[in-house]
Amino acid sequence: MLKQALHRLLRRRHFWRNVGFDELSEIYVSTMFRSLALSLTNIFVPLYMLKQGFSIVEVMILATWYFVFRAVIFDLLTGWLVARVGPKHTIICSYWMLALSAVLFLTVPQMGWPIWLLGGIWGGASSLFCIPFSVDFSKIKHKDHGGKELGYANVMEKAGGVLGPLVGGMVATFFGGQYIFLAGIFMLVVGAWPLLRTAEPIPTRQPFRPWSLPWRRIKHDLISFVPYSMELTWCGFLWPLYLGVFVLTGAAAYAGLGLLASVSVVASIVAALTIGRLVDKHRGRLLLRFGATSNAILHLFRPFVTLYPTALLVNLANEAMTVSYHLPYRKGMYDRGDDIANRRIEYFAVMEFVGSIVKALGWVGLVLLTYVMPDTTVVKLGFVFAAISSLLIMTERFPALKARRV
């Protein structure tokens, strides 16, 4: 029903399409439910772990294991799985693994699961989604309107992100932090259903040969993807951790974090609709540089935030700035997948693999710094690293982001 309603609402906005809208709306709906599930759980994980008695260092170690498992086991394995069974079936596997991850977090107080297991299953679920989603979307997107379609996908993701933190925050406040994971599991089950409605967009049982990539053509992609992914993980994980330590310390911490996230997402939705169109008008690189530079400045301001209203303003600004560089970057990367279509799966798998290696090393570095300086200082220093990473995103050389000559 939701997919049919979305089809009627957006069909006229995709009037250039003769085929393929079913697959596109399918991604929109599934992405919304996954986002709803993640917004019910992921944003609360650092705060939840602190409330369960874990230290700041242990939460950082959780993030380290998240990327170690991705790099060592899951990223290349996911690429192989996409080649064998297709991106949609792989995404369904990610939903079930994410549900398992939610169960593990849910039962931490009773079972005392080790941090490496929590981080490993959580990270594996991320690999099993990110790579096939990139393969799927890059395959079915429209060549000339990919930015707009990516903007709609971002809007659907954020639509789930508006309600999730509010509901999750209230559930955690009144019933307990562990119960947010039950709601997340239900949303994951619902989100897997649309993916079963249409066939795989690529042939299955393909060979998977990552060593055969055109390395000279993609070297700048790999170089820029490292800081791009580093900025996203440090901002996305350190900021809730920082808020849990310095800002949201009262009994209503979960509700405060949920409200903060939900209000901020509204700014992201407005920005996504506008920026997606500008990317298609060959303004992508200009937008990327503006967003990356502005976000770097904002990161340097984060360690001075101590009040809830200030945190809200930072979140609002960050959402708009992140979309400004995120959409152009993903558009450039997806178009690169078209350029090397016969190695599309290998390209996205290797990009995530290299990103996971560096992110794991980055988190190891932060953990080691806690041995020579206070934990809270390391958290604040992480925002300096995030600012540097944001600036280095501008090393990208995607042909799709070149300005149109007049």
Report which of residues 88 and 302 the model is more confident about: 302
Question: What is the pLDDT at residue 61?
Answer: 93
Instruction: Say how far residue 271 (Cα) sits from the centre of its chain.
Output: 17
Q: Is 8 a residue whose pLDDT tops 90? A: no
Q: Is 183 a residue whose pLDDT tops 60? A: yes
Question: What is the pLDDT at residue 80?
Answer: 95
Q: To the nearest whole percent, how much of the chain has pLDDT over 70?
A: 64
| Section 211-231 average pLDDT | 90
pLDDT bracket for residue 76 (50, 70, 90): very high
Q: Is 16 a residue whose pLDDT tops 60? A: no
CATH of 20-204+214-401, one of 3.40.50.880, 3.40.50.620, 1.20.1250.20, 1.10.1760.20: 1.20.1250.20
Report which of residues 12 and 398 the model is more confident about: 398
Question: What is the pLDDT at residue 354?
Answer: 94
Q: What is the pLDDT of residues 168-180, one digit of tens each?
A: 666 666 666 556 6
Q: Is 404 a residue whose pLDDT tops 70? A: no
Most confident of 112-116, 251-255, 305-309: 112-116
Q: Is 22 a residue whose pLDDT tops 50? A: yes
Q: Is 13 a residue whose pLDDT tops 60? A: no
Report which of residues 270 and 12 the model is more confident about: 270
Q: To the nearest whole percent, how much of the chain has pLDDT over 90?
A: 24
| Residue 205 half-sphere exposure toward CB, CA atoms < 13 A | 0
SS (H, E, C) the chain: CHHHHHHHHHHHHHCCCCCCHHHHHHHHHHHHHHHHHHHHHHHHHHHHHHHCCCCHHHHHHHHHHHHHHHHHHHHHHHHHHHHHHCHHHHHHHHHHHHHHHHHHHHCHHHHCCCHHHHHHHHHHHHHHHHHHHHHHHHHHCCCCCHHHHHHHHHHHHHHHHHHHHHHHHHHHHHCCHHHHHHHHHHHHHHHHHHHHCCCCCCCCCCCCCHHHCCHHHHHHHHHHHHHHHHHHHHHHHHHHHHHHHHCCCCCCHHHHHHHHHHHHHHHHHHHHHHHHHHHHHHHHHHHHHHHHHHHHHHHHHHHHCCCHHHHHHHHHHHHHHHHHHHHHHHHHHHHHHHHCHHHHHHHHHHHHHHHHHHHHHHHHHHHHHCCCCCHHHHHHHHHHHHHHHHHHHHHCCCHHHCCCCC
Q: Is 9 a residue whose pLDDT tops 50? A: no
Q: What is the pLDDT of residues 271-320, one digit of tens each?
A: 666 666 666 566 778 888 988 999 999 999 998 988 888 888 888 888 77
Q: What is the pLDDT of residues 197-220, one digit of tens each?
A: 666 667 778 889 988 888 988 889
Model confidence pTM above 0.85: no
Q: How many Å apart are CA 101 and CA 118, to the nearest integer?
A: 7
Q: How many Å apart are CA 111 and CA 270, to the nearest integer?
A: 43
Q: What is the pLDDT of residues 335-384, one digit of tens each?
A: 888 778 688 899 999 999 999 999 999 999 999 999 999 988 998 999 99
Q: Which of 219, 400, 392 is nearest to 327 (CA)?
A: 400
Question: What is the pLDDT at residue 2?
Answer: 45
Question: What is the pLDDT at residue 145?
Answer: 47
Question: What is the pLDDT at residue 233?
Answer: 84
Question: What is the pLDDT at residue 141?
Answer: 59
Q: Is 6 a residue whose pLDDT tops 70? A: no
Q: Where are the domains of the chain?
A: 20-204+214-401
The mean pLDDT of the chain is: 77
Question: What is the pLDDT at residue 257?
Answer: 67
Q: Is 117 a residue whose pLDDT tops 70? A: yes
